[in-house]
Amino acid sequence: MNPSRRWADWTARDFADLQASGRAAQAIAVLPIAAIEQHGPHLPVSVDTTLVDGVIDACLPHLKPDATVLFLPTQAVGKSNEHARYAGTLTLSADTLHAIWMELGACVARAGIGKLVLLNSHGGQVALMETVARDLRVAHSFVVVSTNWFTLPMAPAVRALFTDEEHRFGIHAGDVETSMMLALAPHTVHMDAAREFPNAMAERARDYPLLGSGAGKVAWQAQDLNTWGAAGDATGASAAKGQAVIDDAARQLAALLHEVDRLPPHTVTEQTVWRSA
């Protein structure tokens, strides 16, 4: 079997051989979904794409040889209309992205692959990803899992590298993302422009406890949080901290994929107590 973990490296014969071997139903396709959007004055618009690709690259050595995991090409443009006020942002509508991800999922199903993981790198499209995951399961009766690299569990030692305030409110181009970019693409980072970008959510959380706790969510655009289009303190970022986050996320992603690999075929079923047409 082709040893590459990259879908694009396989030939049509490789996919046919996988089907003939009877292993396709347990194989996992991973669709990385990212964004091209502004990240303040100090980071490039490629951040979300660079980060998910970096986590995937670091994940590969942790995957078990007997687990068939294929990473589809990263979908770089996502739903980024919350950043549309800033030049350089590329965005697609929710309807367009829903259609694209559904059609890519259909291609995976036609290849006989039994499991699909949607791996997201952009907070602005989490809800859409979860909707697509459900719709794909309904349409194709295969196992679909949705996840975000940034919601995977973080080891306590890695979490301690950043303040609690930064974990909660440094959600865009702050310490975590800037550190990761320093580790992955330092030539694209302008630390001379890095600063503390206070997040308006922090003040709101003090005055409005239910809204601050997430019991109610205020719809926002990036400029509502900070007019620089960033949120968090980027001044203390370092490549060492960024690499620690990448390595930790990579191990957690591998662990998640191994759990998906163990899921049995009957995880999804069309059987009900009352049969319907």
**Residue 265: its pLDDT value, please?**
74
CATH fourth-level superfamily of 7-267: Creatininase (3.40.50.10310)
In the chain, the N- to C-terminal Cα span, in Å, equals 39
The amino acid present at 66, given as its one-letter code, is D
- β-partners of residue 119 are 32, 147
Q: What is the pLDDT of residues 88-112, one digit of tens each?
A: 999 999 999 999 999 999 999 999 9
**CB-based contacts of 243: which residues, under 8 Å, 6+ apart?**
183
Question: To which residue do tokens 């602005």 refer?
Answer: 124
Domain assignments of the chain as residue spans, ordered by start: 7-267
pLDDT-wise least confident of 37-46, 172-181, 201-210: 201-210
Q: What is the pLDDT of residues 42-86, one digit of tens each?
A: 999 999 999 999 999 999 999 999 999 999 999 999 999 999 999
Helices (H), the chain: 12-21, 47-59, 94-110, 126-140, 156-159, 164-169, 175-184, 200-207, 209-213, 222-225, 239-262
